[in-house]
A and B are shown apart, each in its own frame.
Chain A
Amino acid sequence: AQTVTQSQPEMSVQEAETVTLSCTYDTSESDYYLFWYKQPPSRQMILVIRQEAYKQQNATENRFSVNFQKAAKSFSLKISDSQLGDAAMYFCAYRSEYNFNKFYFGSGTKLNVKP
């Protein structure tokens, strides 16, 4: 079974600084998708960024980028120029290419942004 591990329960960053959130996963599959979701206090999970495993190039969305290391099964999220609105829970998630139905989530990292 696939597992997703986020080893940092909580992190803090100064406004305008850069922070990296870590995620590792375990799978025997070669084709899959990885996601980072943000869950603010409003509770609604919002997609931050997505990475297809077959793509070697790391995904980037504005201030958000990932470092995808397939061999190491690592998928970290870098947030540049951190803003107060980035404060939230961040969840790493895995989904198989062959099963669109089931997402596996990590336990989350709470990100605090200090002014």
Chain B
Amino acid sequence: DAGVTQSPTHLIKTRGQQVTLRCSPKSGHDTVSWYQQALGQGPQFIFQYYEEEERQRGNFPDRFSGHQFPNYSSELNVNALLLGDSALYLCASRGTGGTGELFFGEGSRLTVL
């Protein structure tokens, strides 16, 4: 049973560039959330996708956008990168019902120079 997988694991960008991060949810899960974890901090909710639509959004600017595909996989796009966007980006998935536990991937470490 494959867990949540993310790619790439590490990447380096320069200010002003754009980045796309990818996530495949755990088998059987249909809801994907993205979190930003700055160094030394806990994860912060970016947004959540279900049925290919953004259902809820945290306090992040419009430079952060996403997409969910029919196979439930998801992308996180960040435009006009700032130095402050350097962080670990975590994807989490959950299925319907149950207690709504989140299952996390290993994250994508983004460094903006």
Contact = CB atoms under 8 A, between A and B. Distances in A.
Given A35-B101, A101-B48, A102-B48, A44 B106 contact: yes
A33 B106 contact: no
Contact of B58 (A6, A44, A102): A102
Interface string B92-113: 1010000111111111010000
A91 B41 CA distance: 10
A4 interface: yes
Interface residues of A, number: 26
B56 interface: yes
Contacts of B43: 45, 91, 103, 105
Interface residues of B, number: 27
A44 B42 contact: no
Nearest to B45: A102
**Main SS class of interface, B:** strand
Interface of B: 31, 33, 35, 40-45, 48, 55-56, 58, 88, 90, 92, 94, 99-107, 109
A108 B90 CA distance: 15
A95 B100 contact: yes
Contact of B42 (A46, A95, A105): A105
B88 A100 contact: no
Contacts of A62: none
